[in-house]
Each structure stands twice: as structure tokens, then as C-alpha cells.
Amino acid sequence: MRIGHCRRMAFLAPNAVHTQFGKSTHGLAQKRFGGKNCVLMRQNPYGIFFRNLADFAKGSTVKMSMQVAEKHAVLGNPMEADFASQGLATALVGLGCFWGAERKFWEMKGVYSTAVGYSGGSNAQPSYKEVCSGMTGHAEVVRIIYDPQIVSFSEILDTFWESHDPTTLNRQGNDVGSQYRSVVYYSTPEEKAAIEDSRDRFSEVLQANGYGPVVTEVSEMPTFYFAEDYHQQ
């Protein structure tokens, strides 16, 4: 069962940022995601199939703070596995309330699995309540497992930038707090360079359309803690 308190968020992003930044330079594209007044409830068809996935997390940046369903409720693929051995890559982003944000990525062709959780804080295995207190320093994040032969990291970044307002500090719409901050993580120097390049290009388009400077945090990929199962998908 999915229950929670994040609010509806709307962001008007210039069409110029769509996909390759600049194919269209006129007009505004409205991006909406989030719950209806923060009250969402969805039955997880895989909710009865729980298992301890800690073995998969050994030696990785994934920690099983919560029990989660074995398979993705929408895509049907594993929520955790040795993805790298299958030629799959990982991206980790925060763009406000993670519910609607997660959907943006699982709908992309080439995305194998997604999960929501917490990263970038000071304590291990945080709960939703602890993160919402704003005292742990964690951000609500979406972990994206994708096939780089089908969808590129740059395309993941495009969706990230287009799906939220990166010019508001510690806030997305009516959701306020450091847990809702805009953040994107990298695991290689090449990913860091790609993030910074896309950020700079996106920032130019936004400022040309009257927005302020981009305040997105760009950091090395930290430990990812799964959120409680009722938050997933």
C-alpha cells in the first residue's frame, strides 16, 4: 500500500531543454508530477513477496534499510541484483518528492528498474519519518537501473532537468525541506563532466526564460538506502 504526504508539484520548463537542449527554443512545456494533495494509495501486487536482499548489497553502495518487494511493481524486473554483471548502469537523482519522480524514469525506454530511497545524509538506514524531520540530511532520491545500449546517461539527465525546478533551494512546489533538494550523483569522472555540461546548458535556457540560477547539488554517489516498500512504485 502506498501512502504518504508529498504534494502536487508543477514546473514550467522551457521547451528548449527537451531531449537535446535546443531543438525548440520557443514556448513553455508544463511538467507535472506528484500526488493529489499528498494522499496516494496504490496496492503493490508484489507486496506479499518480501525477501532479505542484504547479500546483494555487500560491498556496494546499496543498503537494505527496509524490506522491499522482490520485483518492480510496474516493470516486473528485480528490485535488486548484480546489475553491473548484466551490463546495466545506475543513476541516482533527487528532484523533490520521489513518488511522481520515479514514474518519470520507469516510463523511459531502456530503464530496467527503479526504486526510491534516501541518500546523502549523516546516519545509516534512515526511516521516512526521520528523513522528513530534516535532521538526517538525506534527500529523497530515485535510483535508476538502465541499459546504456538503449538509453544514455545524457537522456537520463534530460529527464531529470525537465521534470523539476532546479532553481529552488530545498524546495519543490509546496514541498519544503532539505529532503526535497535538487541533487544528482555521479560515480565516474565522465558522469560528473556530463552532469556539469548539461547543468550549464540547461541553466542558460532557464535564465533566458526568467528563472534564477540552478542550485542543484552535484556530488559523488553515496550510499543508497531503500525507502519503505509502501513508497515504491
Which amino acids are annotated catalytic?
97
CB 164 within 8 A of CB 140: no
Closest CA to 167 of 212, 135, 231: 212
Helices (H), 51-112: 54-57, 98-106
Rounded Cα distance between 15 and 102, Å, is 21
Q: What is the DSSP secondary structure assignment for residue 25, as one 8-state letter?
A: -
- What's the CA gap between 36 and 43, in Å, rounded? 16
Contacts of residue 91, Cβ cutoff 8 Å, sequence gap at least 6:
143, 144, 146, 153, 156, 185
Q: CA 22, CA 209: separation in Å to the nearest integer?
A: 13
Residue type, 199: R
Q: What is the C-alpha separation between 73 and 77, in angstroms, rounded?
A: 8
**99/105 Cα distance (integer angstroms):** 11
Name the grid cell of 117: 530511497
